[in-house]
Amino acid sequence: MKHLREYEEQEVKDLMGDLEKIGQNPPKGWILSVFPYNTSDGPERGPKGTLYYAITAHTLQEAYFLVAEANGGLPEAELEELVSDVEDFSDLEDVIASVSEYESGFIYLQHWEGLIPRNRETNLVEISNSNPFGVIKSLSKEFTNVQAVMSANT
């Protein structure tokens, strides 16, 4: 580590930021909890209760894109434009509602960040299990530190 001491702390941070810009940083992990709804044909269709997304992506914008893509069904170029101005996962609620032809989407509940993905590939996994222990078990397949992150942010 002696060679790192030759550089100022800000220079090292700048170099790490440059790696992130070109996609060479390690992927990050998020868990997003939402309540899906669909009022087009009477009672709710699809999963009941809370739905969890386990997201592995290199940037927050990429994570937004994955969630919007799973819920919107729009061409890639249109989705990229829609999520380019999104600043928070709660903003995705409006984006997804706006791309739907009928009254469907999700209500944003909460998100957790700082998770360490088990794989390096961009990925989105939907988990709809009514058993909380089953949810944690499924999330643990995607991230190494699920219990620590979720416990720290309750």
| Cβ contact 80:65 at 8 Å | yes
Beta strands in the chain (DSSP E): 28-38, 51-57, 104-115, 123-127
Q: What's the predicted TM-score (pTM) here?
A: 0.76
Query: Do 50 and 61 meet the contact criterion of CB atoms below 8 Å apart?
Result: no
| Tens digit of pLDDT at every position of the chain (154 positions) | 455 556 666 776 666 666 656 656 789 999 999 988 776 655 555 556 889 999 999 888 899 889 888 887 777 887 788 788 888 888 888 877 777 666 677 888 999 999 999 998 999 999 998 898 999 999 999 999 998 998 887 6
- Residue 49 φ/ψ region, left for φ over 0, alpha for ψ in the -120 to 50 degree band, beta for the rest: left
